[in-house]
Amino acid sequence: MRPVAWRTSLVLLHVALATVIASAAFHSRPPSLHVEHRRRTDLPSSLGDACGIEYEGAVFRPPAEWRSLILQVTIGCSWNRCTFCEMYQEKSFRAKPVEEVIAEMDRVVEVGGASYVRDVFLADGDAMTLPTGMLVRILDAIND
């Protein structure tokens, strides 16, 4: 890549990131995310709700992903110090036991929800901090 084109790309990336950060600072939550607060009296707003999965705290899901199953494999965010993000501040970070995650997936299958699942998201803020062995067990259970 030519030096001038590289600098231009870097400047455009910088402007794009500054815009995202400024937008996030202006809004308490990014506008493209939907916050779901769980109450027993609410109608199910996601597959997980409809299948009886009990989420801890607010779960952030793009509205277009209503057919996606969200599995909270961690609670909160391991870093949780970003000045532009308020998504997980009310939660203390911890890993959910693998057996509990697998039981939730089994519940989805039991009630017939598996046929509606298009995608599976591993939530909350930082699922990739789990040890590899835990992630492999969860991913194998998803594939089964």
pTM beyond 0.75: the answer is no
For residues 105 and 84, what is the distance between their CA atoms, to the nearest angstrom? Answer: 33
Print pLDDT tens along the chain (144 aa): 444 444 444 444 443 444 444 444 434 444 444 444 444 444 456 788 888 888 888 887 778 888 889 999 999 999 988 899 888 888 889 999 999 999 999 999 999 988 889 899 999 888 999 999 999 999 999 998
Token look-up 């084109």 returns 5
Query: Of 139, 131, 141, 119, whose CA–CA distance to 64 is shortest?
Result: 119
Position of tokens 């993000």? Answer: 85
Alpha helices in the chain (DSSP H): 3-26, 47-50, 98-110, 132-143
For the CA atoms of 48, 51, 53, 58, the dihedral, rounded to the nearest 10 degrees, stands at 40
